[in-house]
C-alpha cells in the first residue's frame, strides 16, 4: 500500500497526506505545573509504530524538542538501522524550552537547541524545522533575530525548510509575511477550525505554502471510542481538555461515531476517514498529522487520506457541533 502524497507548497517535496505525530512518544510530562505529556507510552510499541509506518509509506514524521524533553526525538533516532534516513521527511520544532535563555528564540540558544535536536535524532539535517509558537516576546523583540537565525541554519545545510506553528491560526497569519515560512502547522479539526476565518488558508494558497493540520482527532476524543467520561493521570495533556470528562460530550461523540459508520459503510475506518477527509476537502497543499502510538493505529491511518466532497465534509461537521 502506498499512501497518497501531496506537494508541500513551494518546498516542492511530495509528502504523504497523512503524517505521523509523535507527541505521545514523550510519555507523561509536567511543565511548570501543567500536564503536557501523554500516559500509556511504550517505547517498543512506538518503535514498532515507526517501523510499520515506514513499510506502509507514512514517511512524514513530526516531533519536537519538548516532547518528553527530547525522548520522542531520541526514539526516532534509534530507527536508522532499519529505516533509511533519506526516506523519511523529518520535522521537529523548537521554542517552548527556554533553559537559561531569557527567551527561547534568542539566537545563541536556538543554535544550542538545533545541535541537541540533531544529536537526539542522530541525523545531519532536519527536513523541516518549526518555530513552535508565535510568541516573539515583548514588542516582538525576538522576531528579527529568530527569523535570521533560522535562515542561517538553512544556508548551513542543517535545516532544509523552515516552518511556523501555533495553536492559533490567527497568530500564524499575523506573522506569516515577516517569517515567510515554507510550511505552516496549525491546530485544526472538525470542531475547532479557524483556518479559513483567520485568513491563513488564503495566505497559504496565494503564496504556495505547505500546510499541516495537527490534532485532527482532538487527541482521540472525536473518535467516539470512550464509553464513559475519562480522567487522565497527572502528566497527561488530555487532563486539560474538559470534553473527556463531560458525559454529554462523550455521548455526542458516540452518536457521531455511529452516524459516520453508517454514512461510510464501505470504508475500513469510517470515523478516521470522515474526520481527516473533512479537513482535506478542497485542499491542495495540505496534510494531516495524526498521533499514532502503535502498529494498529498506523495500519488504520494508512487506509485514509482521501478528501471528502464539500457536501460530505459539511455533513460530518454537523454531526459534531452541539
Find the binder of ligand NAP among 23, 54, 244, 264 (CB under 6 A): 23
* CB-count exposure of residue 254 (10 Å: 0-12, 13-18, 19+): middle
* 291 is a site residue for ligand NAP (CB under 6 A): yes
Strand extents, DSSP E, the chain: 5-7, 14-16, 18-21, 30-31, 34-35, 60-62, 89-94, 126-131, 159-166, 183-187, 210-214, 286-291
Task: Using the rule CB under 6 A, give the single segment among 51-59, 175-183, 217-225, 260-268 that binds ligand NAP.
Answer: 217-225
Find the binder of ligand NAP among 12, 225, 248, 318 (CB under 6 A): 225
3-class DSSP state of 246: coil
* 21 is a site residue for ligand NAP (CB under 6 A): yes
Find the binder of ligand NAP among 160, 201, 218, 319 (CB under 6 A): 218
* 190 is a site residue for ligand NAP (CB under 6 A): no
* 24 is a site residue for ligand NAP (CB under 6 A): yes
Write down the residue that cell numbers 495540505 correspond to.
286
**To the nearest whole angstrom, how small is the minimum distance from the Cβ of residue 90 to ligand NAP?**
12
Round to whole Å and give the CA distance between 214 and 21.
Answer: 8
Find the binder of ligand NAP among 94, 129, 136, 214 (CB under 6 A): 214
Helix (H) or strand (E) holding 261: helix 247-263
Find the binder of ligand NAP among 289, 302, 304, 316 (CB under 6 A): 289
Task: Using the rule CB under 6 A, give the single segment among 48-56, 169-177, 259-267, 292-300 that binds ligand NAP.
Answer: 292-300
234 Cβ contact list (under 8 Å, min separation 6): 28, 30, 35
* 185 is a site residue for ligand NAP (CB under 6 A): yes
Which residue number, 149 or 185, has a Cβ lying nearer to ligand NAP? 185
Round to whole Å and give the CA distance between 80 and 308.
Answer: 35
3-class DSSP state of 145: helix
Strand extents, DSSP E, 95-187: 126-131, 159-166, 183-187
Find the binder of ligand NAP among 9, 47, 49, 62 (CB under 6 A): 62
* Residues pairing with 26 in the sheet: none
Which residue number, 274 or 291, has a Cβ lying nearer to ligand NAP? 291
Task: Using the rule CB under 6 A, give the single segment among 76-84, 134-142, 149-157, 216-224 that binds ligand NAP.
Answer: 216-224
* Residues pairing with 162 in the sheet: 129
* 22 is a site residue for ligand NAP (CB under 6 A): yes
Which residue number, 51 or 300, has a Cβ lying nearer to ligand NAP? 300
Site for ligand NAP in 68-107 (CB under 6 A): none
* Residues pairing with 211 in the sheet: 184, 286
User: Residue 132: left (phi > 0), alpha (psi -120 to 50), or beta?
Assistant: alpha
Which residue number, 216 or 307, has a Cβ lying nearer to ligand NAP? 216
Site for ligand NAP in 106-145 (CB under 6 A): 132
Q: Give the count of beta carbons closer than 10 Å to the beta carbon of residue 27.
A: 21
Where do contacts with ligand NAP occur on this chain (CB under 6 A)?
A: 21-24, 40, 62, 132, 165, 167, 185, 214-220, 223, 225, 272, 289-293, 297, 300
Amino acid at each position: 500500500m502506498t499512501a497518497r502524497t501531496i506537494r508541500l507548497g513551494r518546498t516542492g517535496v511530495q509528502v504523504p497526506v497523512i503524517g505521523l505525530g509523535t507527541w505521545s512518544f514523550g510519555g507523561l510530562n509536567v511543565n511548570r505545573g501543567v500536564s503536557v505529556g501523554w500516559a500509556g507510552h511504550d517505547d517498543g510499541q512506538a518503535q514498532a509504530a515507526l517501523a510499520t509506518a515506514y513499510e506502509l509509506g507514512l514517511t512524514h514524521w513530526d516531533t519536537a524538542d519538548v516532547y518528553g524533553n527530547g525522548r520522542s526525538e531520541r526514539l526516532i533516532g534509534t530507527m536508522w538501522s532499519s529505516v533509511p534516513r533519506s526516506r523519511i521527511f523529518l520535522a521537529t520544532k523548537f521554542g517552548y524550552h527556554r533553559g537559561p535563555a531569557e527567551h527561547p528564540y534568542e539566537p545563541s540558544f536556538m543554535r544550542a537547541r538545533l545541535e541537541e535536536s540533531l544529536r537526539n535524532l542522530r541525523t545531519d539535517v532536519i527536513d523541516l524545522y518549526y518555530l513552535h509558537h508565535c510568541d516573539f516576546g515583548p514588542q516582538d523583540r525576538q522576531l528579527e533575530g529568530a527569523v535570521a537565525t533560522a535562515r542561517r541554519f538553512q544556508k548551513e545545510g542543517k535545516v532544509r525548510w523552515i516552518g511556523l506553528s501555533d495553536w492559533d491560526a490567527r497568530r500564524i497569519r499575523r506573522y506569516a509575511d515577516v517569517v515567510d515560512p515554507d510550511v505552516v502547522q496549525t491546530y485544526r479539526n472538525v470542531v475547532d477550525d479557524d483556518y479559513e476565518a483567520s485568513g491563513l488558508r488564503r495566505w497559504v494558497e496565494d503564496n504556495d505554502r505547505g500546510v499541516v493540520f495537527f490534532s485532527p482527532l482532538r487527541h482521540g476524543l472525536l473518535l467516539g471510542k470512550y464509553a464513559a467520561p475519562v480522567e487522565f493521570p497527572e502528566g497527561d495533556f488530555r487532563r486539560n481538555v474538559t470534553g473527556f470528562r463531560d458525559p454529554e460530550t462523550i455521548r455526542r461523540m458516540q452518536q457521531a461515531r455511529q452516524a459516520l459508520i453508517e454514512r461510510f459503510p464501505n470504508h475500513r475506518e469510517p470515523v478516521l476517514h470522515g474526520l481527516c477527509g473533512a479537513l482535506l476537502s478542497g485542499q491542495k497543499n495540505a496534510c494531516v498529522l495524526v498521533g499514532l502510538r502503535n502498529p494498529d493505529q498506523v495500519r488504520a491511518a494508512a487506509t485514509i487520506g482521501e478528501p471528502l466532497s464539500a457536501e460530505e465534509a459539511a455533513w460530518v461537521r454537523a454531526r459534531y457541533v452541539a
